């Protein structure tokens, strides 16, 4: 993995983190987030941290970019699915109340 590739991937991960934090902050300010939603967000943050550790380890070990790219795509898709789940739960909660 080249340094440029690593920086690009870390940037995308950081951008996702910023957007997620802003989204959760907005929902919290509107009173639309529950403890269950916070737990989903915490799990997403844990998974993001794990992705950062994998990227750093791959850079240090010289792991193939193709392998890291494949794993990163899978991990990003999983994070995106968790975000969709969070939003679906919020929508369901709003329809109930």
Q: What does the pLDDT look like over 1-44, one tens digit per residue? A: 577 877 888 888 888 888 888 888 888 888 877 787 788 888 88
Question: Rounded to 10 degrees, what is the CA torsion of 40, 46, 50, 52?
Answer: 100
Full-model pTM? 0.67
Query: b/e map of 72-86 (b: 16 or more CB within 10 Å)?
Result: beebbeebeebbeeb
| DSSP character at residue 1 | -
Q: What is the pLDDT of residues 41-55, one digit of tens each?
A: 888 888 888 888 888
Domain boundaries, the chain: 3-96
């Amino acid at each position: 993995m080249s340094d440029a590739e690593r920086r690009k991937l870390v940037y995308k991960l950081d951008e996702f983190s910023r957007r997620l934090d802003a989204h959760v902050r907005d929902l919290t300010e509107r009173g639309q987030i529950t403890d269950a939603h916070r737990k989903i967000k915490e799990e997403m943050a844990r998974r993001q941290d794990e992705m950062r550790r994998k990227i750093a380890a791959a850079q240090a070990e010289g792991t193939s970019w193709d392998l890291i790219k494949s794993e990163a795509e899978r991990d990003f898709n999983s994070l995106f699915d968790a975000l969709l789940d969070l939003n679906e739960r919020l929508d369901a909660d709003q329809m109930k109340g």
